[in-house]
Structures are given as structure tokens and as C-alpha cells.
Amino acid sequence: MRITFWGVRGSIPTPGRDTAEIGGNTSCVEVRAGKLAIILDGGTGLRLLGQKLLKEMPVTAHIFFSHVHWDHIQGFPFFAPAFVPGNTIHLYGGNDVSRTLEDTLKGQMDYPSFPVALGQLGAHMTFRDMREGQVVTLDDGEGHELTVRTTRGNHPNGVWVYRIDHRGKSVVYATDTEHYAVVDPKLVHISHKSDVLIYDSQYTPEEYKTKLGWGHSTFEEGVKIARDAQVKKFVLYHHDPNQSDAMVRDKERRSKEVFENSLAAYEGLIIEP
Ligand SMILES: [Zn+2]
Ligand SMILES: [Zn+2]
């Protein structure tokens, strides 16, 4: 399994000198396993991943959306492989919002917000709205199975947390989720003994004090899950747009003090568990 980070920022893209090292693109992570290309979220990082995939045509990709807030879907209209006939894109997601995943993705491309409608894209696309606890099983093309499990996180309008397992390796993608007084038993359960936990570490514990109920968390709370679930590597993700490179590095340093195998996600980071 090979995990590549294409966008690690939360809420809104943050280009600029102070964020160049960590990167300013929003949520997008690529997981390659066997011949499978799994994509977690379609934030602006998806555009760059699309450029890379153009060299591997015909592309078959499985995009799992945690939810449909802007910072998780905004790269999709710029995902070049979706424009090319012969490619196949499977899209998974949806949640408690009023529309299906397909309707939401269609909505962001509606006239006059975007010149090309979803239905005009050349690739073959399938849409699948997920249910809590659902397991998606995919053939890796090399004689093994990959599974994607789901559970709900805690976020306005809902969010899916995903766990991917392949040949004894696993990664949990838990972005845009807020902690409460008790460590979330669902997140501990789905993270159990995973190799990598990618977790919403948008705020420092100090910043969080003024952001209660905004649907985001801290490295301090994520580490509690990592410990309880015996996770091997903890990855701070979905950095706040107001955080400079130095501030993200400081979060990482503080996280390492309480959980040694901590790492702040940055654009271009590759993890091979
Ligand atoms: Zn977000
Ligand atoms: Zn969100």
C-alpha cells in the first residue's frame, strides 16, 4: 500500500509564501494497492493527482468522499481524467444532506458557476451513496481483495470516516470530525491496530477553545484515539488555513511529545505502511 498526500489543508486553499512547504491545496489523498487507485476526497489537490493519472490511461479510479463541503469536492471539476472517454470513475459518499452525492457534484458544476455540466464529462461514472457500516470490497487485480469500511464522524451535515485494508496493511481516514468529552468509541473501533491514522488536527488545543461545535479536532484528541486503538502512525491532517508552515511544524512537534510516531501531513508526503 502506498499513500500519497495531494492536499492537506482544511476549509480553503492557502497559496502563499508562508504555506509553501506544507502546501495550500485542500483535502486529497491517493491510496494505491495492487492495480487499484483509491482517492480519498476531491479537494483542490485532486487536480494535481489527475495530471499524474493522465499518464496511466485508461484510468479506473475509486473516489471516496468524506462529505461534500467545498474543500472536499472543489477539485473534481478540474480532475482531467473525468473528461476523457474510456476512463471509469466510481464515486462513493453522500450522507445526511438533502441530496445524493451525484446531485451535489452536479450542483457545483451548474450554470453559471461552471461552464461544463457533470453530464457532459467523457468518462464513465458511477455513483454510490454509502450506509453506515457498509463494506465495499474491490478486487486489486493481482489476486487479493481490498476493503473499505465506513463509520460516521462528528461534523455539521455529516461525514464518513473510511478504513482501507489490503494484504494486512491498513489506513484510516478520519477528517472533519470533532471530539467530545469521551473518546469516540466508533473511531477507536474502526482504527483498531491500523498502520496509519490520518486525523483532523485542524486546531491547536488553544485554538479549539474558540471553535467549539465547528466540527474539527486537535492532535491532542487524535492521539487519544491512536493510543486507545494501538495505531502505529498518527498523521496530522486538514491544517487550518490560518496556520503557517512554522505553526504546522509546531503542532507536529507537540504531537510527537505525546505520541512519538506523529507526522504532520504535507503535499507530496508518501507513506508506505
Ligand atoms: Zn474540510
Ligand atoms: Zn467539512
pLDDT of residue 9 exceeding 80, the answer is yes
Query: Residue holding cell 485542524?
Result: 202
Give the residue-averaged pLDDT of 165-174. Answer: 98
Segment 83-93 shows an average pLDDT of: 97
CA 159 / ligand 2 centre spacing (Å): 8
The predicted pLDDT at position 97 comes to: 55
Q: How big, in percent rounded to 5, are the helix, strand and coil portions of the chain? A: 25, 30, 45
* Spacing, Cα 166 to ligand 1 middle (Å): 26
Helix (H) or strand (E) holding 258: helix 245-258
Compute, in angstroms, the gap from residue 35 CA to the centroid of ligand 2. 30
Q: What is the pLDDT of residues 204-263, one digit of tens each?
A: 999 999 999 999 999 999 999 999 999 999 999 999 999 999 999 999 999 999 999 999
- Gap from CA of 71 to ligand 1 centroid (Å): 5
Tell me the sheet residues that pair with 147: 137, 165
Ligand nearest to the CA of 12: 1
- pLDDT(81) > 60: yes
Query: With b meaning 16 or more CB within 10 Å and e meaning fewer, what string describes 164-190?
Result: bbbeebbbbbbbbbbbeeeebebbbeb
Stated length of the chain? 273
Of 8-12, 108-112, 152-156, 177-181, least confident by mean pLDDT is 108-112
Q: Which of 75-89, 112-126, 158-172, 244-258 has the lowest mean pLDDT?
A: 112-126
pLDDT-above-70 percentage for the chain:
99
Q: How many CB atoms lie within 10 A of CB 132?
A: 11
- Does 104 score more than 80 pLDDT? yes
What's the pLDDT tens digit per position in 19-28?
Answer: 999 999 999 9
Mean of the pLDDT values across residues 105-112? Answer: 88
The full 3-state SS of 213-264, as one line of letters, equals CCCCCEHHHHHHHHHHCCCCEEEEECECCCCCHHHHHHHHHHHHHHCCCEEE
DSSP 78: G
Q: For residue 24, report the distance from its CA to the centre of ligand 2, in Å.
A: 16
| Averaged pLDDT for residues 166-173 | 98
Per-chain residues with Cβ under 5 A from ion ligand 1:
10, 71, 176
Per-residue confidence (pLDDT) for residue 239, from 0 to 100:
98
DSSP code at position 65: P
CA of 143 to the centre of ligand 2 (A): 36
Between the CA of 144 and the centroid of ligand 1 the distance, in Å, is: 32
Integer Cα distance of 75 and 29 in angstroms:
12
Distance of CA 239 to the CA centre of its chain: 12
Q: Is the pTM of this model over 0.75?
A: yes
Question: What's the grid cell of residue 55?
Answer: 499518464
Residue pLDDT, tens place only, 126-145:
999 998 889 999 999 999 99
How many angstroms separate the alpha carbon of residue 134 from the centre of ligand 1?
A: 22
**How far away, in angstroms, is 207 Cα from ligand 1 center?**
16
- Taking residues 37-48, report their average pLDDT: 98
pLDDT in the model for residue 94: 76
- Average pLDDT on 103-109 reads 88
Stretch 120-125: mean pLDDT, rounded?
95
Distance CA 123, CA 38 (A): 16
Question: 69-83, 90-104, 133-147, 194-208 — which is least confidently predicted?
Answer: 90-104
Rounded to whole angstroms, the Cα distance separating 145 from 166 reads 7
The predicted model gives 167-179 an average pLDDT of 98
Ligand nearest to the backbone CA of 159: 2
Please name which ligand lies nearest the alpha carbon of 200: 1
Q: What average pLDDT does the chain have?
A: 96
The three grid cell numbers given for residue 36, joined into one nine-digit string = 487499484
